[in-house]
Amino acid sequence: METRELRYFVAVAEEANVGRAADRLGIAQPPLSRAIARLERRLGATLFDRTPRGMDLTDAGLTLLREGRVALAAMEAAERRTRRTAQTPGESRIVLTAKPGSAGEVMVKLLDAYAAEPDAVDVEVVFSPPRHQALMLRDGRADVALLHRPFDDLSGFDVETLLVEDQVVIVPAGHPASQRTSMTEAEARSISDLPCPRWPEIDGSYPDGPGPEMRDLTQMVQLVRLGRTAIVLPESVQAYVRDGVAVVSLVDAPRVTTVLAWPPHSTSVGVAGLARTAARL
């Protein structure tokens, strides 16, 4: 199976429509139809059910979509890391990706401690949208990432735990709920006049729902102050909030673990050094 065929397949699977997929790929529709048919012939598997409204994935197609995305990410990672090795002889820089504002405190401590090491290399910090950190690690855009259990998918990475913390709910200062000293997660999510905000999906779209669309922490604090939402977050975000909001602890919410993660088999001395520093914190 060639990389191109697999990219074509993924495009068709995601669009559920050959014509739109062809547009996205920048080719005409007929060659794409043929490529899919040939791929099916070579695999000996029907990947799509053809309907009058488009293409429906079969079970085999679902398998290829799931496994194929992993394979494509691995191909991209191989390519990217090779380019970078060629361009930066001696490895003078590594890329760390994190969610903006996530565990800011621990990240500063980690980077400061690492920079003090004798053999430290430059660490370029790249902020990326929520949940994109693992993707960037998988496809080689980043060498190391700050991930959060249980939200991120840590499977396949080596990790070092940096911080374990409870979650809290942030409510408007004057709201009746602000009088409580603690509540359950279910209670926090069902305060009738304070709907939960909607976080973006991996593809950048927002799910349907009553809450506001959440983009960053600054905006979040404003929305809470305005009495538009209540938001469940790890307690370390208290560093970002000031007046106008109240913090109520949650009794049953899962703990959030912040970890430093990197691909197994990483040969980077920078990543190894950062991991060693993390283990000492």
> Considering only residues 14-33, where is the footprint of DNA by CB under 7 A?
16-20, 26-31, 33
Q: Is there binding between residue 128 and DNA (CB under 7 A)?
A: no
DSSP 195: P
Structure-token pair, residue 247: 């913090």
43 or 247, CB closer to its own copies? Answer: 43
From 164, 170, 132, 139, select the one nearest 149 (Cα to Cα). 164
Residue 63's binding partner among DNA, its own copies, none (Cβ under 5 to 8 angstroms by kind) is its own copies
Alpha carbons 252 and 231: distance in angstroms, whole number = 15
Q: How far is the CB of 167 from DNA (least distance, A)?
A: 43
Contact by Cβ (8 Å): 143, 273: no
Q: How far is the CB of 62 from DNA (least distance, A)?
A: 17
Q: Is there binding between residue 65 and DNA (CB under 7 A)?
A: no
Contact by Cβ (8 Å): 152, 131: yes
Contact by Cβ (8 Å): 249, 182: yes
Tell me the torsion sign for CA atoms 93, 103, 166, 227. Answer: negative
Q: How far is the CB of 85 from DNA (least distance, A)?
A: 19
User: E-strand spans in the chain?
Assistant: 48-51, 54-57, 93-98, 122-127, 144-149, 158-165, 167-172, 182-183, 231-234, 245-250, 256-262
Residue 35's binding partner among its own copies, DNA, none (Cβ under 5 to 8 angstroms by kind) is DNA
Contacting residue, 10, 11, 13, 36, with DNA by CB under 7 A: 36
63 or 184, CB closer to its own copies? Answer: 63
Q: How far is the CB of 116 from DNA (least distance, A)?
A: 45
Q: Is there binding between residue 264 and DNA (CB under 7 A)?
A: no
Residues found near its own copies in the complex (CB under 8 A): 1-4, 6, 43-47, 58-64, 66-68, 70-71, 74-75, 77-79, 81-83, 85-87, 89, 140, 153, 155-156, 158, 264-265, 267
Q: How far is the CB of 139 from DNA (least distance, A)?
A: 21
| Site size toward DNA, by CB under 7 A | 25
Task: Give the CA angle between residues 175, 207, 221 to the nearest 5°.
Answer: 35
Structure-token pair, residue 39: 């791929």
Helix runs in 198-281, H state only: 217-225, 269-280
82 or 238, CB closer to DNA? Answer: 82
Residue 271's binding partner among DNA, its own copies, none (Cβ under 5 to 8 angstroms by kind) is none
Q: Contact positions toward DNA, by CB under 7 A?
A: 2, 4-5, 16-20, 26-31, 33-38, 50, 52-55
